[in-house]
Chains A and B, each alone.
Chain A
Amino acid sequence: MSKIVSVTGNHSASWAARTAIPAVIAAYPITPQTTIVEKIAEFVENGDLKSEYVRVESEHSAMAACIGASALGLRTFTATSSHGLALMHEMLHWAGRARLPVVMPVVNRSLGPPWNIWVDHSDSMAQRDTGWIQFYASNNQEVYDTVLMLFRLCEAPKVLLPGMVALDAYILSHTFTSIEVYDHEEITDFLPSYQAEHWKLDPKDPMATGNIAGPEYYYELSYAVHEGFEAARKMIPKVEADFKKHFGRFHGGFIDTYQCDDAEVIFIAMGTMGEEAQLAVEELRNEGIRAGSARLRVFRPFPAEQIQALANKAKAFVVVDRSLSYGHLGGAVTEIRSALYRGGQTIPVQGVIAGLGGRDVRYTDIKKLIHLGFDAADKGEVKPDIFYGLKR
């Protein structure tokens, strides 16, 4: 029976694994992800979860082991963060290009040096081009629900891609809230057990994967990965609608919008900052200021059309990145400006870098940032990208 449990964001991910029953879980501890795999170990050892749990000696091996198991056509799961994700990078490409639907929560944390264990999106943003579907969650229930949705999406024959759900370190990973969780039997209509239809390692029907392919094939194989993403783009709304039908919850699709319909300035961020922004918008609305919040929930496939649709109504965007591509800007603002240029739209987009390495960004800060959007809308021009809160 479904029940309400009081859990951290990390344990929400563990509970999702328990509900989905991956055949193989291979994982390695890293702060602040560790409690995900600790809880899973507890589920496995007390018999609540009948997965094979491989306690590998590194994150690189965690992904390689998931690739091995997924290549048998089985459901696989791991979790990581920060340096662990960076170490995995090579194998993220391998899972993506081999079309293996591994599902992985990533607890967003900064990269060193210096050692810093707090929230920062640099780890997952740097994996943009590895062939992984990327979702960013903003609350514990969304973490749980998105893991289940990702299995459904990633394992779909036309998609067959790995997927990650990112959750902010500590703000979600170690914060308790109540969430609704289900037994495996209650979700099988939405998420049946998995055995790949396509290629799999089977001695009865032997085939090889990944052997050398020259320039005459590689391009087409790359395009096939891209087609998988286009299939995912079509399927995400269907999966979310079906999830709502079964469980009554909807987290916003590609972009979780709040008060955007008549908003003059739309604030765009990812993760918990996107949820915090709703509070800022609410206060601004009380002051008679027409602000809106659009939480970018899916980063790959990138929702360019949805961004363009938002720009049709608004006068300006304020886009906050909790990561920095040194020498340029944040990842989200770059993508958003690109989408608008492609759509022929010219509204001002104020870029902001904020909250790196766990620096707090409060709804009061967000209110200030939204005001910058109104300045830009009034003047029709944008200030240079802002490093908000930088001490100099």
Chain B
Amino acid sequence: MVTIKELPRDEYIELGHAACAGCGATIAIRHALKALGGNTILTVPACCMSVIQGLFPKNALHLPVLNTAFETAGAAASGIAAGLKFMGKDKDINVMAWAGDGGTYDIGIQALSGAAERQTNFIYTCYNNESYGNTGQQRSGATPYGAFSTTTPIIGKQEHRKPMARIMAEHGIPYTASISAAYPRLVFETYSKAKDVVGTRFIEVHAMCPTGWRCATWDSVKFGKLAVETGVWIMWEKEGDEWRFLGLSKRIAEGKIKRKPLMDYLKPQGRFRTLIKDPERVKEFERGINREWEILKKRVGC
């Protein structure tokens, strides 16, 4: 694993961006772009990154950026990729769509699925902060079971989230990864690997959001790690036909370490305040997590 000192010094997102304190998505894009380098074109649908990049006429991103409509990241990237191919530049320039979970799980899944089916040569990132964070935490297809959102304000969400990365892996694309912004070195390594793969690459980055998760901004990375340590978020990749667990999730899968108690993760976050009062619902939350572990273990073959 690359050390902090070995990370490239180049920055493609400048100080002065407009992210909230403790934003996981910003940690993720910073390290993803360090791996991809400056020969990259970004397309960004409506999401927190529309705001984070800063207000016109300024922009904190040191790359060409096509902001596009909410549901179109996969399609806009398809057009960019096709244009680069026409110009004979498709091997030199990376195309990356950078979308939130609403723009991926919900409104953008059609364009994304189409782009993947067409074997479009691009990287699609879903930075998953588990709600419509940009507009004040409405429920998305990625919001965890039981979590408060402004559209599940009293009872909390009554459904489990969809296994988006697994859905994308099953498209038969050459590279899929599920990682976390709490591990920036892994972010860097994942994008370094994805950069050299030709075809559709889907990377989902669990992106801590203290604003939406109702936790202290200085605890952002701690909660990102806790999600992995408790097994709530699972890190894995699929390269070609081979599935493997990554980082701490690998050690959990191999039985080398035990998952931390679920309550360590749930209890301090304001968004789970209602959930944790009901032991039956906490069990249901855990059942959903365990189910995903079992499916992934079968895929990995352990």
- Chain A residues with CB under 8 Å of chain B are 23-24, 26, 51-52, 54-58, 60-62, 64-72, 74, 76, 90-91, 94, 200-203, 205-214, 217
B182 to chain A, nearest CB (A): 27
Q: Which residue of A lies closest to B63 (CB)?
A: A206
Residues in chain B near residue A94, CB distance under 8 A = 68-69
Tell me which of A55, A64, A65, A74 contacts B87 (CB under 8 A). A74
In the complex, whether B80 has a CB less than 8 A from a CB of chain A is yes
**CB-CB contacts below 8 Å: B64-110 with A:** 64-69, 71-72, 74-87, 93, 110
A254 to chain B, nearest CB (A): 32
A64 touches B75 (CB 8 A): yes
A57 touches B117 (CB 8 A): yes
Q: Which of B35-43, B155-163, B204-212, B271-279 contacts A (4 or more CB under 8 A)?
A: B35-43
Of listed A24, A66, A71, A211, residue having the most chain B CB within 10 A:
A211
Residues in chain B near residue A206, CB distance under 8 A = 38, 61-65
A-B contacts besides A68-B76, A211-B55, 18 pairs, CB < 8 Å: A23-B86, A52-B82, A56-B75, A61-B111, A64-B75, A67-B76, A68-B82, A76-B79, A202-B64, A203-B93, A206-B38, A208-B66, A209-B66, A210-B67, A211-B65, A213-B55, A213-B57, A217-B56
Q: How far is the CA of A106 from the CA of B196 in the complex (A)?
A: 40
Residues in chain B near residue A212, CB distance under 8 A = 50-51, 55-56
B87 to chain A, nearest CB (A): 7
Q: Can you identify 15 A-B contacts, CB atoms within 8 angstroms?
A: A23-B86, A58-B111, A60-B72, A61-B110, A68-B66, A68-B79, A68-B81, A68-B83, A71-B66, A74-B83, A207-B64, A210-B66, A212-B55, A212-B56, A213-B56
B53 to chain A, nearest CB (A): 5
A175 to chain B, nearest CB (A): 32
- Chain B residues with CB under 8 Å of chain A are 38-41, 43, 50-51, 53-57, 59, 61-69, 71-72, 74-87, 93, 110-111, 113-114, 117-118
Given known pairs A64-B68, A209-B65, the reply for A203 and B82 (CB within 8 Å) is no
Q: Which residue of A lies closest to B62 (CB)?
A: A206
B117 touches A203 (CB 8 A): no
Q: How far is the CA of A30 from the CA of B206 in the complex (A)?
A: 39
Given known pairs A61-B111, A64-B111, A207-B64, the reply for A91 and B69 (CB within 8 Å) is yes
A208 touches B79 (CB 8 A): no
B117 touches A69 (CB 8 A): no
B45 to chain A, nearest CB (A): 9
A372 to chain B, nearest CB (A): 45
Given known pairs A68-B43, A211-B65, the reply for A26 and B82 (CB within 8 Å) is yes
Residues in chain B near residue A71, CB distance under 8 A = 66, 79-80
Residues in chain B near residue A68, CB distance under 8 A = 43, 66, 68, 75-83
Q: Lowest 8 CB-CB distances: which A-B pairs, in order? A: A68-B79, A210-B67, A57-B114, A65-B79, A61-B75, A213-B56, A64-B75, A64-B72
Residues in chain B near residue A60, CB distance under 8 A = 71-72, 75, 111
Residues in chain B near residue A58, CB distance under 8 A = 110-111, 114
B83 touches A23 (CB 8 A): yes
A24 touches B66 (CB 8 A): no
Of listed A65, A72, A76, A202, residue having the most chain B CB within 10 A:
A65
A201 touches B67 (CB 8 A): no
Residues in chain A near residue B77, CB distance under 8 A = 68
Tell me which of B57, B62, B65, B79 contacts A64 (CB under 8 A). B79
Residues in chain A near residue B62, CB distance under 8 A = 206
Residues in chain B near residue A210, CB distance under 8 A = 66-68
A212 to chain B, nearest CB (A): 5
Residues in chain A near residue B51, CB distance under 8 A = 212
A259 to chain B, nearest CB (A): 46
B171 to chain A, nearest CB (A): 13
B121 to chain A, nearest CB (A): 11
Tell me which of B61, B63, B114 contacts A56 (CB under 8 A). B114
A90 touches B114 (CB 8 A): no
Residues in chain A near residue B65, CB distance under 8 A = 201, 206-209, 211
Q: Which residue of B lies closest to A24 (CB)?
A: B82
Residues in chain B near residue A205, CB distance under 8 A = 64
Tell me which of A72, A91, A214 contacts B80 (CB under 8 A). A72
Residues in chain A near residue B38, CB distance under 8 A = 203, 206
A61 touches B64 (CB 8 A): no
Tell me which of B54, B63, B86 contacts A203 (CB under 8 A). B63
Residues in chain A near residue B72, CB distance under 8 A = 60-61, 64, 67, 91
Residues in chain B near residue A74, CB distance under 8 A = 83, 86-87
Residues in chain B near residue A23, CB distance under 8 A = 82-83, 86-87
